[in-house]
Each structure stands twice: as C-alpha cells, then as structure tokens.
Amino acid sequence: MFAIERIKIIKNYLTQNEKVEVSKLSDMLNVSEVTIRKDLEKLEEEGFLKRIHGGAVITPHIFAASPMEPDLLSHETFFTIEEHLHEIALVAVDMIEDNDSIMLTNGPINLEISKNLGTKNNLTVLTNDLLIALELSRFPHIKAISLGGDIDFHSKATFGRLTLANMSHFYVNKIFIEVDGFNEHVGFSVSNIDKATLIQEAILNANSKIILCPSDCFNKTAFFKVGSLKIAERIITNFNLDEAYKKLICNNNIELFTSINLMEGSE
C-alpha cells in the first residue's frame, strides 16, 4: 500500500473516531509502527492531528469543520478499514465447509476470516500467521497448524527455509492468498519477498487457489511479484471493483466474488 493511500485511510479513521493508537493502525494497514509514526508526523505537520503517547488525536478544528466532508466519508472510499476488509472475509468464510483443510496466508483479511470460523466443524487450518493460529486456538473443533520458522517482528508471521520445508509436508484443498496489489501486466504482487516466496511454494500444495484482493489494490503494484492472473481460480474483492477488471477476470475464466454479487468466468 502506498503512502498516499495510508494517509487517506488514517484521515478517514480519525475523522470518524477522533483518536487512534499506532499499534492499531499498524495491524490495520499491515505495516510497521515506524512507518505509521512517520505518517502521523506528516499529518501533524499539516495540522490535521496531534500526536500523543502511543497514538494520535484529530485536531479539534478539523473535526468540527469537516465531520461530513465527502472526500473523507465517501461510502465508496471508506466505511472504516475494518469493514472494508470484513466484507471480503465474510464472503471467504462462506466458501469454507465443514471438514475442509485450508491454508490462510498472513494478513489482516485472513485474520478476520479466522475470527469467523467458530461455526465450522472439523476444520484443519494451516497458517504462517501467529495471530491467526492464536485466534483459532479458541475453537476446540478446529485443528490449527503453525508452519513455524523465523518470526517477522512486524507481521507476526513466520518465513524462511524452515517454513518452506514444513510447507512441503502438507496439502490443502483450499488456500486463501492475501495480496497487496494487482496490475494487468505484472499480475499479483506483495510487499515482502519472503511472503511472495511462501505463496509461490504454497500454491503448489493446494487444490483451489482463492485470491483476496481489496478493490483499491487493483491497478497497484507492490514490490514483489507473486504470479500472473492465471494462478487464481477465484478472486474475492469489494463490491466497487472497476468494471474493466471484472471483465478481465471473467474473460480469463476466473470466478469473481464480491460482497454483493458473483460473476462466473465464461466457459
């Protein structure tokens, strides 16, 4: 996610909530707390907010002057970041059936999925995300398997040789892959080379490949390529995806799921 997108999300969140913690923004946006602090410093210089210990509060005159500013509170631009991801997660949860074996790669959407699996029975869930594994440990009827490996401080996920070696021992019938960008020429991409490498290995050990990509990540390119559009069998995104991308996906015989409808690839 680019800095300008993070800034817009932070502004929207503060406009609606008046106060936010650095750790919350870090988890929401899947970036380091150092990056968030730099974003908050920039917004403080602009006079939009005031930094406090562990977070920030919106500048009172900003909140009073523009509580209904269209650019900040547009329904299409921003619900809250949690709702933006939650709607994708719920569509994914509907695809998961009792007795499935699935993999959830690390990321906030898959974490949201894990929080909504309590009604599923006899699931086996493989993940490299420690927060997801911890969330699933609340459900006695779900078997959670952590891949292990080197723990990344910022993402709270495991990567590296041990993670890849462990991945080779498993096969899942569904994998939910969270990506940071899609460009027609580059394909799917993520911001971390270790994440890209893990995804490329994991899709070799999965039957159905399901891509999770928010609509605002289309026509965006993160730094590390994961694969072309063809690696996906299904794509889940938000309802407001541009029509040109809907057509591109369907013309490639890939099922497209959104929060309000389903378009199937042509035969």
- Identify which of 84, 138, 143 has the alpha carbon closest to the alpha carbon of residue 115: 138
Residue 206 has pLDDT above 80, yes or no: yes
Average the pLDDT over 152-161 and give the result: 92
Q: What is the mean pLDDT of the chain?
A: 87
> For residue 196, which of 105, 111, 103, 133 has the smallest C-alpha distance?
105
Which of residues 73, 105, 123 is at a domain's end? 73
Query: Pick from 49, 73, 97: which residue ends a domain?
Result: 73
* Residue 120 confidence class, pLDDT cut points 50, 70, 90: very high
Look at residue 259 in the predicted model and tell me its pLDDT.
Answer: 72
How many residues are present in the chain? 267
Count of domains forming the chain: 2
Residues 34 and 159 placed together within one structural domain of the fold = no
Instruction: Give yes or no for residue 115 having a pLDDT over 80.
Output: yes
- Model pLDDT, residue 174: 98
CATH number for position 170? 3.40.50.1360
CA dihedral 78, 82, 83, 85 (to 10 degrees): 100
Out of 73, 105, 135, a domain closes at 73
Domain identity same for 33 and 130: no
Considering the domain architecture, whether residues 153 and 192 belong to the same structural domain is answered as yes
Among residues 213, 264, 209, the alpha carbon closest in space to that of 240 is found at 213
**Longest Cα–Cα distance in the chain:** 57
pLDDT score for 97: 96
Instruction: Give me the CATH number covering residue 24.
Output: 1.10.10.10
Its domain, for residue 235, covers 81-263
Residues 8 and 40 reside in one and the same domain: yes
For residue 206, the SS3 value is strand
